[in-house]
């Protein structure tokens, strides 16, 4: 398996499709069976796993040799009663923890798992999909407390792991990737006012993200890279 993909939402499935078209073997972990083309299924091994459950993920991944690349595509902006907050009064402890649980924890858990298997010379690429709204310096609009803070925490997690890995696994890298605004369930309620060309299809996003990720080198570890190759500043 050359790629492990965590999550089969809009971008996770598009990554599996794009990789399959390139002839890559993919291990795909998601809670429910994804809808993929026949071509993608021929290249994909799928397991029903909740990627927030670290022991279930480890149990599944233990069955396979380490891949060249791991991509965590999990993310949640709204779910059930939980809506992105416009005002501080709307923030609840349970929504906040839920966002950390889905948007931040699985990357730390996967990094922890990978550290148990990596050797000093492994050249693994590990990317987690982040978001530009997790940038502190770029925060002009405010709001979206749970999402923003959990993505900023994700970015800090990536930076912190990268410092440790530089010492322990100097040929491996861990980065965050901002996919742009992509037409998936996650962005569906929030696309009003986008200008022409600002909304990417999941397949376009997957192509951009793989292009960026394939060309990163260990010196670029710990940082957040956008779909166009530009760095997203912390």
Upper half-sphere CA count for residue 125 (Cβ side, 13 Å): 21
- Could you tell me the two tokens for 2? 């050359």
**How far is it, in rounded angstroms, from Cα 41 to Cα 20?**
8
Q: Is 1 in the site for ligand NAP (CB under 6 A)?
A: no
Beta bridge partners of 128: 72, 176
Using CB under 6 A as the binding rule, whether residue 99 contacts ligand NAP is answered as: no
Contact with ligand NAP (CB under 6 A): which of 9, 67, 84, 176?
A: 9
Least Å distance, CB 106 to ligand NAP, is 8
The answer to the question of residue 12 lying near ligand NAP (CB under 6 A) is: yes
Per-residue string for binding with ligand NAP, 204-233, x by CB under 6 A?
A: ------------------------------
Least gap, CB of 119 to ligand NAP (angstroms): 29
74 binds ligand NAP (CB under 6 A): yes
| Binding-residue pattern over the window 19 to 58 for ligand NAP, x denoting contact by CB under 6 A | -----------xxx-----------------xxx------
User: The tokens of 81 are what?
Assistant: 């009663």
Distance in Å from the first CA to the final CA of the chain: 33
- Which residue, 118 or 212, is less far from ligand NAP as judged by CB? 212
Is residue 187 involved in binding ligand NAP (CB under 6 A)? yes
Closest to 123 in 3D by CA, of 68, 41, 82: 68
**Residue number closest to ligand NAP, CB atom:** 9
In the bound state with ligand NAP, the residue whose beta carbon lies nearer, of 34 and 222, is 34
Distance of CA 174 to the CA centre of its chain: 11
Cα 107 from Cα 102, distance rounded (Å): 9
| Site for ligand NAP, residues 118 to 157, rule: CB under 6 A | 129, 131
CA gap 41, 16 in Å, rounded: 9
Distances (CA, A) of 153 to 119, 197, 234: 27, 30, 11
Residues that bind ligand NAP (CB under 6 A): 7-12, 30-32, 50-52, 73-76, 102, 129, 131, 179, 181-182, 184-187
């Amino acid at each position: 398996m050359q790629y492990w993909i965590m999550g089969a939402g809009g971008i996770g499935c598009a990554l599996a499709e794009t990789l399959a078209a390139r002839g890559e073997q993919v291990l795909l972990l998601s809670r429910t069976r994804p809808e993929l083309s026949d071509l993608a299924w021929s290249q994909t091994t799928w397991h029903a796993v909740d990627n927030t459950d670290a022991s279930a993920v480890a149990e599944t991944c233990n069955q396979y040799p380490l891949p060249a690349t791991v991509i965590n595509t999990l993310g949640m902006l709204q779910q059930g009663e939980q809506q992105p907050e416009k005002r501080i009064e709307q923030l609840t402890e349970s929504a906040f923890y839920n966002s950390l649980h889905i948007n931040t924890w699985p990357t730390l858990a996967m990094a922890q798992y990978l550290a148990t298997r990596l050797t000093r010379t492994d050249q693994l690429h590990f990317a987690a999909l982040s978001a530009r709204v997790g940038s502190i310096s770029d925060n002009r609009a405010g709001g979206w407390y749970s999402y923003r803070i959990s993505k900023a925490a994700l970015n800090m997690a990536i930076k912190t792991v990268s410092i440790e890995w530089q010492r322990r696994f100097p040929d491996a890298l861990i980065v965050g990737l901002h996919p742009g605004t992509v037409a998936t369930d996650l962005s569906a309620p929030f696309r009003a006012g986008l200008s022409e060309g600002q909304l990417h299809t999941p397949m376009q996003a997957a192509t951009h993200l793989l292009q960026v990720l394939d060309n990163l080198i260990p010196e670029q570890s710990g940082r957040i890279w956008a779909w166009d190759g530009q760095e997203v500043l912390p």
